[in-house]
Amino acid sequence: MILIADGGSTKVDWIALDEQKNELFKIRTQGLNPAVVEEKVLKERVLSAKEFSENLDQVTQVFFYGAGCGTKVATKILKDLLEELFSNATVIVEEDMLAAVYAATGSDPAIVCILGTGSNSCFYDGKETHMNTVSLGYMLMDEASGNYFGKRLIRNYYYKTMPAHIAAKFEESYDLSPDTVKHKLYKEPNPNTYLADFASFMFQFKEETYVKEMMESGFDEFFVTRVLPFEKDKSTPIYFIGSIAHYFYDILKKVADKYELNLAGVIQRPIDNLIKYHKEYLIK
């Protein structure tokens, strides 16, 4: 059995193939970000899927692409864990950025960006990915990501700069008591995922000026910090991965046009394209 995983902080999409590259099953587990989730919890989340727990020794290859796998220490934690669980498998763990590249552009040069729970970008020259900076995660970076907009929503609510009718709906939708918010952020695991959950609220009000302006300023910050520093020709195709880009495509396109950049495509869920790439190029 061959496993391919597209892993974010919130969830991981898995697909299992047999040795003839036929699909066996698709499942989704909770996020496996080794930079913010304890090893014990990572293990529990993998084993929570009976498709895995009942077939650990049947797995021969694992291709895992995940958020938080951009540093050696975090990558080793997850690789060691997967090798322990799937003891008969060859395990490859790479950053989710590489999965985004495979899904979006294959072997053609492009700038590829992720707007999920977190955010990131790279330039792919057709063979290797090039980053303009290391990602330092949700507290310091992650412009235009789910957790970025979640933080802005909470701040705007508390500073009373959110329109009254939207604030009223926000109160109905979430427990916004200071004790709850602070406990979730500072006492519980995965505060980045907690923050990103608020971003889905924006989809209900995507036609409101308040939301449009917030999205536009967030996307603008992302282009300034994560795209323009590559200093590539304006004809270079730019691809985005993730629901934030998918649901707010019109605003994303508006900001790209402002900088005369080539927004070539948006992919909400890259797993299907990722499977195709592996079948053609990586699975022998």
Number of domains in the chain: 1
pTM of the model: 0.84
pLDDT score, position 117: 87
Please, which residues bridge with residue 262 across strands? 237
Cα gap 202→198, rounded to integer Å: 8
Main-chain phi, psi angles of 94, to 5 degrees: -135, 165
pLDDT score, position 9: 84
Kindly state whether residue 221 falls inside one of the protein's structural domains: no
Cα gap 22→20, rounded to integer Å: 6
Kindly state whether residue 181 falls inside one of the protein's structural domains: no
CB-CB contact of 112 with 132 (8 Å): no
What is the block-wise mean pLDDT of the chain (284 residues), using blocks of 10 residues? Answer: 90 92 93 91 94 93 92 94 96 91 88 92 92 86 95 97 97 97 93 92 94 98 97 95 93 97 92 85 77
Encoded tokens for 84: 């322990």
Which single residue is written with the structure tokens 């909470």? 154
Kindly state whether residue 276 falls inside one of the protein's structural domains: yes
pLDDT score, position 279: 87
Which range marks the domain in which residue 59 is found? 2-99+271-282
Kindly state whether residue 62 falls inside one of the protein's structural domains: yes
Cα gap 183→186, rounded to integer Å: 5
Cα gap 217→223, rounded to integer Å: 10
CB-CB contact of 166 with 208 (8 Å): yes
Distances in whole angstroms, Cα of residue 5 to Cα of each of 36, 67, 79, 208: 18, 11, 13, 36
CB atoms within 10 A of CB 131: 15
Q: What is the distance in angstroms between the CA of the first residue and the CA of the last residue of the chain?
A: 13
Kindly state whether residue 227 falls inside one of the protein's structural domains: no
Cα gap 9→196, rounded to integer Å: 10
- The residue type of 169 is K
Residue 47: CATH number of its domain:
3.30.420.40
Kindly state whether residue 75 falls inside one of the protein's structural domains: yes
CB-CB contact of 123 with 103 (8 Å): no
Kindly state whether residue 148 falls inside one of the protein's structural domains: no
pLDDT score, position 105: 87
Kindly state whether residue 216 falls inside one of the protein's structural domains: no
pLDDT score, position 10: 86
| Residue 193, C-beta contacts closer than 8 angstroms, at least 6 positions apart | 9, 10, 31, 117, 147
Cα gap 229→147, rounded to integer Å: 23
Cα gap 106→136, rounded to integer Å: 26
